[in-house]
Structure 1
Amino acid sequence: MAALGLTGIGHVALKVADINRSLAFYRDRLGFDEMMHLDHDDGSLWLVYLRITDTQFLELFPDGEGNQAPGPERTAVNHFCLETNDLDATANALRAAGITLTVEPKAGADGNRQCWIADPDGNRIEFMQMGPASMQTEAIRRLNSAA
């Protein structure tokens, strides 16, 4: 897919049940910077844009139906993953912010280290530290050498 000129995933968009609860989680506890609000023509909130990095963002859309995201067995987005250089420090920072880890730091089947949390709507979030010999790292080396 190099012909498409892709440089990464620009944003993930979540429909949330309670925008204030979600902002308290993502902005106040995870530390994502609130960049902007976009409103409908009638002045009601359409979405809030949060910065993860300078090129990756999270969009929160208010007024989702129901109280929980579909579980991992449902046809939907299963989870999203945020990459870190130090999983233990990330896990400790999450705990210090009062966030419960649903999966403690561990080695994944792919050779990367991971831990997991859930947001207030039940969306599953993985934090991953890429391993030097992980399946992804080896595949990247193979693909780069073939290019």
Structure 2
Amino acid sequence: MKAGISGLNHVTLAVADVERSLAFYRDVLGCAVRAVWADGAYLEAGSLWLCLSRDENTRSSPHPDYSHIAFSVPDVDYVALSERVTAEATVWKENKSEGASTYFLDPDGHKLEIHLGALETRLAHYRENPAKGVRVFDN
């Protein structure tokens, strides 16, 4: 078998103001704070290790492409979290995909999403809707 990656280790986001971003990820998204220092912080969201790193070159507007980070949310928490997020953040896209999603910006313009579903639910959606032209590969 060919060697390959085994999963996502961590995500580092460049931020202009560590305290502002820390408050957003902790108080709005519910991440657990694990470490803080003058120019950064480590947070935990489920199995995700998230690093906030102060960077003087942080952009002031979102990148124009579709790249974004999607976070999983338990079904029972989705509505409350989505309401909290939309009250505190700018929505950058309306959901048009399988599964409930809220697309929003963090304080530094990083494109984020909270999503209900998993890869298997998305693949099942495409199996049931072959007219979309998506080829699904089974292991």
TM-score with structure 1 setting the length: 0.68
Q: Which amino acid aligns with 1:143?
A: D
CA contact (8 A) 2:69 2:111 kept: yes
Aligned with 1:96 (options 79, 84, 100): 84
Structure 1 residue 85: Cα displacement: 3.8
2: distance between equivalents of 1:94 and 1:25? 14
Q: Show structure 1 runs of 5+ residues with no match.
A: 39-44
Q: Deviations over 1:49-80 (max 9, x none)?
A: 00011x3111000133245254233xxx9211
Residue identity in the other structure for 1:49: Y
User: How much identity, in percent, do the aligned residues show?
Assistant: 26
Displaced runs of 4 or more, over 3 A: 103-107, 135-139
Check conservation: 1:15, 1:61, Cα contact below 8 A: yes
TM-score (norm 2): 0.71
Aligned residue in 2 for 1:32? 31
Counting matched residue pairs gives 129
In the aligned structure 2, how far is the partner of 1:136 from the partner of 1:18?
41
Cα distance in 2 for partners of 1:122, 1:47 equals 17
SS at the partner of 2:138? helix
Task: Decide whether the 8 Å contact of 1:112 with 1:128 is kept in 2.
Answer: yes
Q: RMSD of aligned C-alpha atoms?
A: 3.2
